[in-house]
Structure 1
Amino acid sequence: MAGESPAHVETLVTCAAQLPPIIVHRPSMRVIDGMHRLRAAELLGRRKIAVRFFDGPEEDAFVLAVQSNIAHGLPLSLADRKHAAERVIASHPQWSDRMIASVTGISAKTVAEIRKSAGADSAGGAGRIGKDGRVRSSDVTEGRRLAHEMIIKNPGLSLRQVARAAGISPETVRDVKNRVMRGEDPLPQGRSRELLGQGAAGTLATSAALPVTPASAPGSAPPSSAVIERLRADPALRFNENGRDLLRLLNLHTLRTEDWNKIVDSVPPHRKEAVAHLARDCARKWLELASLIERNVVQA
């Protein structure tokens, strides 16, 4: 909000190390990150500077600018970060407080206060997108009720399985599960008697007698297109270059069956063998990537 810092530009002018590329919003050609580096290059009389382009709406470009400037370089002031949070709340009201906090460099509690003071405390009954890209209800009452029913019917389900189905966080599921085990209401402050009804509340005492079904019972995995949509909403992928490359590659596999058939029909007879060989080579690379990712998950 205070503009560029001449002192920081002078520091970059005297810096002997190679500076990272600036980031530019391709549709508008505005600098997202690196104005001080650009000014330093101009003072040094350089005609060219390394650039990485960002393709996307201006709202996402602003988010990337804020996220970049809290990670390195001249840090944003607290006033800058709070002002940025106000803009992100206005442009991305569906994002959770924790998600906005992660890109603006302030606490989730501060984001909640800013959201409330701006009159944007309510999500209109819709869910909010968390840091993991999943949508969760802004009112966890219904999610707690559903989690309570799932735990009673199938105590063998994991926290993540229940959280995914109920649209709440695993920690909230853990709290519901602990309350069930202690014979308490699944909602805090004793509200569940009103919201869940006497029938659901009465099952607390008999939960131990219910049969346990296998943890794999929830159903099959969601289709690839649904998974890719969740990945697109994840800021950890959207706002870094490697993540965007991955999303572009995965997006190629969302083609409909008829589109794949058109591609097959378009391959000329004298190139079929070569294309088939490349397709198998691509498949092997995807399998190698899957193995590396799974190995990293195990090590983590």
Structure 2
Amino acid sequence: MALSSLVAADSPRLGGTSPDHVEVLAQGDIQPILVHRDTRRVVDGMHRLQAARLQGEETIPVRYLDGPASEVFLHSVAANVSHGLPLTLADRRAATRRILASHPDLSDRAIARITRLSPKTVGAVRRTSTEEVPQSKVRVGEDGRTRPLDAAQRREAARAFLAEHPGATLHETAASAGVSVSTACEVRQRMRRDEEGSPPRPAAAREVRDRDTTGGGGNPPGDGCAERGRARRAETLAKDPSLRLTESGRALLRWLNERAPDLEVGRRLMAAVPPHCAVAVADLANSYALEWQRFATALDRAVDDVTE
């Protein structure tokens, strides 16, 4: 892309570009910079842009970023804290204040992932910026889901509505209390368990029961629900700022999406497996499943280490 056609980045660096770093970059090959496709604004690479000018170049290689202009600064911060000349602590705090002003509904943890500050630090910045930061009654978490700050009160409102209207539908309950249909369903199920005086059945027990009642042929009875559950999880991950705002996160999303069709393809090909090959194919499938289980277990342990 021609250097003259680019718009300077809305940089999170309080001190601007570093002439010394530009000099260093000008001694070698210029790597592609990140540019917002719609606005042609530089998202990441102002030092490389100036180094190209110092070399006398008229064009520079670019990678394009698609998405709303309102998220360009988020991408710029995320890119600049992960590589190149690192942002200072003052830069990251200032960026946090800007993100809080433009995206007040983002949770402290979501902003912390972008700015590489701790959630406690982001929370402190939020509390000291109450006059500048618009107040929001919801938070968008790291998983991309929107949650109300008064979630406990809304659940209680749903419980009260169901107590007064035991025949109400889940949609009516959700609309009345300002909660999701799934939350309304959880509240109603909990109320029924309380009335029956029986503790909830552990998830593991439900999974064992489901496996025990699976038929011998075709898809398992809960297979459609499992597919919908996978689709919902994939959609939630795709909305997660810590994934969609980083190159490694987007690579993970692409990798997971590429794996999704394999399940349906495998089911269609099952009928083509000759009886004398069934054991070998099953062994391979079990081997792959074991690797996925190890992958999931490692992630579970990582979550436990963070939450302990």
State the TM-score, normalized to the length of structure 1. 0.56
| Contact 2:109–2:119 (Cα < 8 Å) also in 1 | yes
Q: CA-to-partner distance for each residue in 1:127-168, whole Å, 9 max, x for gaps? A: x2222334444346459989xxxxxxxxxxxxxxxxxx77xx
1:223-262 pair list within 5 angstroms? 226-241=232-247, 243-244=249-250
Q: Which residue of 1 aligns with 2:130?
A: 118
Cα deviation for residue 78 of structure 1 reads 2.8
CA distance in structure 1 between the partners assigned to 2:231 and 2:39 by the alignment: 30
Cα deviation for residue 224 of structure 1 reads 5.7
CA distance in structure 1 between the partners assigned to 2:63 and 2:136 by the alignment: 35
CA distance in structure 2 between the partners assigned to 1:74 and 1:52 by the alignment: 19
Cα deviation for residue 31 of structure 1 reads 0.7
Q: Which residue of 2 aligns with 1:56?
A: 67
**What number of residue pairs does the alignment pair up?**
213
CA distance in structure 2 between the partners assigned to 1:247 and 1:106 by the alignment: 24
Cα deviation for residue 229 of structure 1 reads 3.4
| Contact 1:9–1:40 (Cα < 8 Å) also in 2 | yes
| Contact 2:44–2:79 (Cα < 8 Å) also in 1 | yes
Once the two structures are aligned, what percentage of the paired residues are identical?
43
Equivalent residue in structure 2 for 1:213, among 201, 206, 214 = 201
Residue 293 to residue 90, structure 1, CA distance change in 2 (3 Å)? farther
3-state secondary structure, aligned to 2:203? coil
Equivalent residue in structure 2 for 1:65, among 72, 76, 88 = 76
**C-alpha root-mean-square deviation of aligned residues, in Å?**
4.3
Q: Which residue of 2 aligns with 1:297?
A: 296
The yes-or-no answer on 1:6 pairing with 2:5 is no
Q: Which residue of 2 aligns with 1:99?
A: 110
Residue 46 to residue 297, structure 1, CA distance change in 2 (3 Å)? farther
Cα deviation for residue 27 of structure 1 reads 0.5
Cα deviation for residue 37 of structure 1 reads 0.9
Q: Which residue of 2 aligns with 1:153?
A: none
Letter in 2 for 1:297: A
3-state secondary structure, aligned to 1:94? coil
Cα deviation for residue 26 of structure 1 reads 0.6
Equivalent residue in structure 2 for 1:90, among 92, 97, 101 = 101
Q: Which residue of 2 aligns with 1:192?
A: none
Cα deviation for residue 2 of structure 1 reads 2.3
3-state secondary structure, aligned to 1:75? coil
CA distance in structure 2 between the partners assigned to 1:211 and 1:103 by the alignment: 40
1:101-250 pair list within 5 angstroms? 101-116=112-127, 117-119=129-131, 120=133, 122-124=135-137, 126=138, 128-139=139-150, 141-142=152-153, 210-211=198-199, 213-215=201-203, 217=206, 220-221=225-226, 222=228, 226-241=232-247, 243-244=249-250
CA distance in structure 2 between the partners assigned to 1:294 and 1:38 by the alignment: 45
The yes-or-no answer on 1:79 pairing with 2:90 is yes
| Contact 2:35–2:42 (Cα < 8 Å) also in 1 | yes
Q: CA-to-partner distance for each residue in 1:55-94, whole Å, 9 max, x for gaps? A: 0112211101011111122222333222211221122222
Letter in 2 for 1:11: V
Residue 70 to residue 213, structure 1, CA distance change in 2 (3 Å)? same
Residue 123 to residue 251, structure 1, CA distance change in 2 (3 Å)? farther
Letter in 2 for 1:35: M
1:22-41 pair list within 5 angstroms? 22-41=33-52
State the TM-score, normalized to the length of structure 2. 0.54
Residue 235 to residue 212, structure 1, CA distance change in 2 (3 Å)? closer
| Contact 1:97–1:112 (Cα < 8 Å) also in 2 | yes
CA distance in structure 1 between the partners assigned to 2:199 and 2:142 by the alignment: 35
| Contact 1:112–1:121 (Cα < 8 Å) also in 2 | no
